[in-house]
Amino acid sequence: MTAAFAWRRWWPGWWFGAGFLWVWLFVTLHWHPLTPQRSGKDWQVQGRIADFPVRRAGGWRFDFQVMDADAPVPRRLRLSWYGGPPVHAGEIWRLTVRLKSPRGFHNPGGFDYERWLFAHGIGATGYVRRSDGNRLLEPPRGIDALRGRLAAAIARSLDDSSLSGLVRALALGARDGISPGQWQVLRRTGTAHLVAISGLHIGLVAGLLLWTGRRLWLRFGTWRIDAGTAGAASALLGAVGYAALAGFSLPTQRALIMLAVSLAAWVWRRHASPWQGYSLALIGVCLRDPLAPLGSGFWLSFTAVAWILFVVANRLGPARRWVETLKVQAMLWLGMTPLMIYGFHQIGWTAPLANLVAIPLVGFVVVPLILTGCLAWWLWPDAAQALWHWAEGVLGGVWVWLAWLAQWSAGAWPLPAPTLTGVVLASVGLGLLAAPRGLPGRWLGALLLIPLLSPPVERPPPGQLWLTLLDVGQGLAVVAETTRHVLVYDTGPRFSDRFDAGSDIIAPFLDGRGRRHVDLVVVSHADGDHRGGLAGLLRRFPSPVVTSDPDALGLPAAECRAGRSWRWDGVEFELLWPLSGISGSGNDRSCVLKITAAGGASVLLPGDLEAGGEAALVARYGSRLAARVLVAPHHGSRTSSTSAFLDAVRPALILVAAGHGNRFGFPHPEVVARYRQRGRILTTADSGAIQVRLGRTVQVRPWRLENRRLWSPLP
């Protein structure tokens, strides 16, 4: 009796302990990242291509499930194969690969790629080496072969359509055919969830099959099994089949668990409240994958369901169905607003309008046509092609609506990144506002929205300069902030047509800081690792540009010339280089910028200046180059950072922008030795983004070192 009483009294602690133990066991058994000793070496592995490979410029990218290897390597790898042959999901290959430990960029407000790899169990990334030993051992079999043939059939049928990739995504979860422009439309209109096969699609398919199964069983079935059980069985089997076509991705697994719980309660006629089914589904998902809460999809999906249960269930009036639909969309948009602001730093008013049209047409017309075409493809390929073309036609009409909404620049309102406390308070406040009318004090919920909509935003006081050297790999991107102004010095590289430093690193950082505009972009010179993200940044933050060679930039820009200076909020900015009419290499003609805070502390930004340019700069300015902080010239290459230049600058802090394990070996050991003789050295490869606050004192914050996580690799 005493033991039972103790269990009841302390059951929350017991459950918490059991959950902690399960997560620890799961991570211990499933997470085996590549050790630093094996990084950068070649290994021979044998395994299966785990999902649809993604076509990239010059090759393929795919996840690889290792079955055998000549050394202990992680069980799951993310590989690129440059110049390789076409590969397909389910194929078994023997490959020679060069691997490295999982690593991503580390920036405030940026996407945490390392967390994403950890949540998906990917213990190493790398690429396939050229080798005679690379060979296909087995073609795809079973569901993988079926998915591959269906994807090829849809691609052939809709070869001339720009929406072919969207149709394949809705049928098979293969999103590699969706263009960057289409992704932008989906994100701006809040409809990206439509092409991620998850709860919405699984639920629509299951609901349709449940209704159809019951009707058919009532007409043709036997009395030994009731129609409800038959309908539930058909719904579950159909949902499992659809999830199999989608490759049993994590969103479909979550949806299947929730569906199975709901159908079991319905078949067994248990008087379970919707919240009990919701809780069982939540527990089942976390038991199946305890790392699921690391993904934004987990919180978005479960929050959406919880909000619908709270606001909509048993509270819809006898109004017309279209009025009820409008109410659901408006309430769902309102309830998801805190998470959307927290994750994307913006709120879009076009999302309810977009989803009001897109969800019913895609869910009740497009998806059934696509899946019926997949079933018909077995016996009647011509009918399948017709169905896919009809689905593409309806989807084209939906797309016209979404593209029109996405053109509205005011459709998304940017907001500063809120705190987690602000998100929780806002969620409670919205719950109060949406509570039944009889609850007193509902209006107090509006007060709880203030921390979300007007979060505290730090700004440099007048005279101070806040400088952030962003982690963009092998490239350079610096953001200089004063009280009311922002300057961006270089915009990092462009990695692919889907990812560049401007739109995916610098812009999210500025959004998180609550900045609405950029006053000036200085591109030191036209090398790709310094200007690759310019176009992406200007799409989000249109602003004037200056550079040393405007003709080479390919965009409207003014010429950078020594002698120009200005003052923002008590902070002095001065361009020191290049001189008018000077010749030489592109590196030695880099724009050199010096910024001096009111307290006298300054920073020197020399771009890719090399020894010749450094000598000319020292000869012209001498001791005027002195600066407390120096961003290393040319990433710390051996051809730069001469002793004479460093003696003139006399830096106490040297910041090096260099990619981790870069092929150039930056910063060079000889240069590092010279740096250490003069001051402290920090590199983005080890520290991630480096934030420096200059005033009467200098404060330094290495972002990676101050925000270590379980999945963060050692420097």
Domains of the chain, start order: 36-140 (2.40.50), 151-294+345-414 (no CATH), 317-344+417-456 (no CATH), 465-706 (3.60.15.10)
User: Which segments of 411-527 does DSSP mark as H helices, in order?
Assistant: 420-433, 444-447, 450-453, 501, 507-512
Quick check: 483 pLDDT over 90? yes
Cis peptide before 72 (omega within 30 of 0): no
pTM: 0.86
Say what the pLDDT of residue 6 is.
Answer: 56
User: Helix %, strand %, coil % for the chain, to 5?
Assistant: 50, 15, 35
The predicted model gives 502-508 an average pLDDT of 93
CB atoms within 10 A of CB 442: 16
Say what the pLDDT of residue 325 is.
Answer: 60
The predicted model gives 557-581 an average pLDDT of 91
Residue 694: pLDDT band (50, 70, 90) is very high
DSSP label at residue 448: T
Judge whether 69 and 44 are in contact, CB under 8 Å: yes
Query: Among residues of the chain, what percentage have pLDDT more than 70?
Result: 93
pLDDT tens digits, residue range 299-353?
Answer: 877 887 788 778 765 455 554 555 666 666 677 777 788 887 887 777 777 777 8
Give the integer Cα–Cα distance in Å for 565 and 583: 22
Phi, psi of 137 (to 5 degrees): -95, -40
Average pLDDT of the chain to the nearest whole number: 85
Largest distance between two CA atoms of the chain: 99
Phi, psi of 510 (to 5 degrees): -65, -40
Residue 355: pLDDT band (50, 70, 90) is confident
The predicted model gives 180-198 an average pLDDT of 79
Quick check: 243 pLDDT over 60? yes
The crossing angle, in degrees rounded to 10, of helices 381-406 and 180-188 is 60
Please say whether the dihedral angle defined by the alpha carbons of residues 60, 46, 254 and 370, taken in this order, is positive or negative.
Answer: positive
CB burial of 141-176 (b: ≥16 within 10 Å; e: otherwise) equals eeebebbbebbebbbebbeebebbbbbbbbbbbbbb
Instruction: Give the H/E segment covering residue 64.
Output: strand 59-69
Contacts 24+ apart (CB under 8 A), 63-67: 63/120, 63/122, 64/93, 64/95, 67/92
- Whats the size of the chain, residue-wise? 715
User: Which segments of 221-272 does DSSP mark as H helices, in order?
Assistant: 227-245, 250-267
Residue 359: pLDDT band (50, 70, 90) is confident
**Who wins on pLDDT, 392 or 177?**
392
Instruction: Give the H/E segment covering residue 42.
Output: strand 42-49
Give the integer Cα–Cα distance in Å for 663 and 665: 6
- Give the bridge partners for 469, in sequence order: 478, 690
- Give the bridge partners for 185, in sequence order: none
Residue 530: pLDDT band (50, 70, 90) is very high
Instruction: Give the H/E segment covering residue 559.
Output: strand 558-559
Residues 6+ away with beta carbon under 8 Å from 545: 520, 521, 522, 523, 534, 538, 553, 555, 556, 557, 558
Give the integer Cα–Cα distance in Å for 707 and 363: 41
The predicted model gives 405-413 an average pLDDT of 69
Phi, psi of 15 (to 5 degrees): -65, -40
Q: Is 626 helix (H, G, I), strand (E, B) or coil?
A: coil
- Give the bridge partners for 700, in sequence order: 692
Say what the pLDDT of residue 390 is.
Answer: 93
Give the integer Cα–Cα distance in Å for 475 and 457: 28
Give the integer Cα–Cα distance in Å for 575 and 578: 8
Q: Is 699 helix (H, G, I), strand (E, B) or coil?
A: strand
Residue 714: pLDDT band (50, 70, 90) is low
542, two tokens: 């249109």
Judge whether 525 and 587 are in contact, CB under 8 Å: yes
User: Which segments of 158-226 does DSSP mark as H helices, in order?
Assistant: 164-172, 180-188, 199-220
Quick check: 219 pLDDT over 80? no
Kindly report which listed range (2-11, 237-246, 468-477) carries the lowest average pLDDT score: 2-11
CB atoms within 10 A of CB 471: 29
Give the integer Cα–Cα distance in Å for 162 and 169: 13
Judge whether 691 and 682 are in contact, CB under 8 Å: no
Say what the pLDDT of residue 451 is.
Answer: 85
Residue 644: pLDDT band (50, 70, 90) is very high
